[in-house]
């Protein structure tokens, strides 16, 4: 894998991290649309910060499940999930339009993100809602055939990401958060993994197996303790190694 630039994104506006300190290191912001966390005030603050820091804005949509922070599967039929996704994107669009800004992509959150990877109905519901609003919006999703098929049918562009602060299973999916050491917190360890991946496109899974990760963006979770230090470490070390931190959507 040969890259001159790489996107660095974070999940923000969830009211559980030091978002303001994250923006200088990011090129993309996944702005929570107020259902799994946050709200209109958080969205406005996030959009304003993204504009000030020249960070690309994306809609972070999830299950309407604040109790579990959107990280537990919710059984929903196609129509209900499509409407939920549609409404969330429009909620953020209202804020973005008021700020004379632009939304360029959509990223599902938590359990919905992973459920889409193996559930054709839920994948189609989210992707079809995005396509109905604007087929030019990209969608940041897992690298699975189910999602690729739904996106191709809807005419959407899909983008994948490398999770800097999460451990991987040998099959290439994330270690569940219920398992010990599934979330990484040490900034140096996290940036080491990022540079290792950038150089060779591979990292070690939690059992030591070498796995390949196809991605155009790096994700750091804004709610993870130490997220600011990790984002800064990734940013500084990538720049020192000759990589530009830049959204794949930046003009």
| Tens-digit pLDDT profile for residues 104-151 | 999 999 999 999 999 999 999 999 999 999 999 999 999 999 999 999
Question: What 3 state SS string does 38-91 have?
Answer: CCHHHHHHHHHHHHHCCCEEEEEECCCCHHHCCCCCCCCCHHHHHHHHHHHHHH
Q: What is the pLDDT of residue 202?
A: 96
Q: How far apart are CA 136 and CA 19, in angstroms?
A: 27
Q: What is the pLDDT of residues 36-51, one digit of tens each?
A: 999 999 999 999 999 9
Q: What is the pLDDT of residue 250?
A: 85
Give domain limits for the chain: 5-245
The CATH topology of domain 5-245 is: TIM Barrel (3.20.20)
Q: What is the pLDDT of residue 234?
A: 98
pTM of this structure:
0.96
pLDDT at 163 > cutoff 90: yes
Q: What is the pLDDT of residue 2?
A: 56
């Amino acid at each position: 894998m040969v890259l001159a630039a790489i996107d660095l994104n974070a999940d923000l506006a969830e009211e559980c991290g030091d978002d303001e300190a994250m923006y200088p290191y990011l090129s993309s912001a996944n702005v929570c649309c107020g259902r799994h966390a946050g709200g209109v005030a958080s969205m406005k603050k996030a959009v304003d910060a993204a504009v000030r820091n020249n960070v690309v804005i994306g809609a972070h949509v999830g299950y309407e499940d604040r109790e579990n922070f959107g990280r537990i599967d919710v059984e929903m039929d196609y129509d209900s999930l499509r409407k939920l996704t549609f409404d969330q994107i429009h909620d953020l669009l209202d804020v973005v339009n008021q700020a004379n800004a632009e939304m360029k992509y959509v990223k599902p959150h938590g359990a919905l993100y992973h459920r889409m990877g193996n559930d054709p109905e839920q994948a189609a519901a989210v992707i079809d809602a995005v396509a109905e609003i604007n087929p030019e919006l990209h969608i940041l999703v897992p690298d699975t055939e189910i999602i690729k098929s739904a996106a191709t049918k809807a005419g959407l562009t899909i983008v994948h990401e490398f999770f800097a602060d999460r451990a991987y299973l040998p099959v290439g999916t994330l270690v569940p958060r219920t398992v010990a050491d599934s979330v990484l917190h040490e900034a140096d360890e996290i940036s080491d993994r990022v540079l290792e991946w950038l150089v060779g496109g591979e990292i070690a899974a939690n059992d030591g197996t070498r796995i390949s990760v196809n991605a155009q963006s790096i994700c750091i979770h804004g709610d993870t303790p130490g997220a600011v230090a990790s984002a800064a470490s990734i940013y500084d070390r990538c720049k020192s190694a000759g990589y530009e931190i830049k959204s794949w959507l930046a003009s």
